């Protein structure tokens, strides 16, 4: 059997959204671009510094039209944003963390790193302020939005 292949450089937007999508890095360049420099530490690789350019994550996930409940005040604060690298490395952010009215963290989806385009590798999650590099996920294959519901308060 053929091994499962993931389209190089393409990223899927999935989960509790009205408009799931498969985006190329070139599509991410159509959105307003930001630039940022980050430095972070890792117990195995030491201090790293990188420059990134790309759209804000919040703009990308908004475009997928998350299924926020109409009339539910601040329903978006119940959403998780899970980011999966093509190699299986993954981490979870919250909607509130990147929402301009709440955490307002300027999380980017990098389309270039240190001046090199990332079209082949796929976009790179950039979380400014993180002291450790584990959420600086390279080669993103999928971003999945999920609304959590408590067992006690279904629906």
> Near Mo ion by CB under 5 A, which window of 29-37, 87-95, 97-105, 129-137?
129-137
User: Which residues in this chain contact ligand MTE in the complex, by CB under 6 A?
Assistant: 42, 45, 48, 50, 85, 87, 89, 133-134, 136-139
* 122 interacts with, out of Mo ion, ligand MTE, none, CB within 5 to 8 A per kind: none
What are the backbone dihedrals phi and psi of residue 25, each rounded to the nearest 5 degrees, phi first? -55, -35
The residue among 6 and 67 lying less far from ligand MTE, judged by its C-beta, is: 6
**Site for Mo ion contains 42 (CB under 5 A):** yes
How close are the terminal C-alpha atoms of the chain, in Å? 41
The residue among 9 and 133 lying less far from ligand MTE, judged by its C-beta, is: 133
Q: How far apart are CA 118 and CA 115, in angstroms?
A: 9
| CA atoms within a 13 Å half-sphere pointing along the CA-CB vector of 70 | 0
**Site for Mo ion contains 26 (CB under 5 A):** no
CB of residue 112 vs ligand MTE: minimum separation in angstroms?
14
**CA-to-CA dists, residue 74 to 33, 52, 70, 79, 96, angstroms:** 27, 31, 10, 10, 10
* 62 interacts with, out of Mo ion, ligand MTE, none, CB within 5 to 8 A per kind: none
């Amino acid at each position: 059997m053929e091994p499962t292949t993931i389209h190089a450089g393409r990223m899927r937007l999935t989960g509790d959204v009205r408009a799931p999508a498969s985006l190329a890095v070139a599509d991410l360049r159509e959105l307003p671009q930001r630039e940022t420099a980050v430095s972070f530490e890792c117990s195995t690789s030491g201090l790293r510094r990188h420059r990134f350019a790309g759209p804000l994550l919040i703009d990308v996930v908004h475009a997928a039209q998350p299924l926020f409940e109409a009339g539910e005040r601040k329903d978006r604060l119940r959403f998780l944003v899970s980011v999966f690298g093509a190699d299986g490395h993954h981490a979870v952010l919250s909607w509130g963390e990147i929402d301009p009215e709440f955490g307002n963290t300027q999380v980017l989806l990098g389309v270039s790193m240190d001046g090199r385009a990332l079209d082949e590798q796929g976009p790179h999650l950039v979380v400014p302020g993180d002291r450790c590099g584990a959420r600086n996920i390279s080669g993103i294959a999928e971003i999945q939005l999920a609304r959590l519901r408590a067992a006690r308060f279904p629906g």
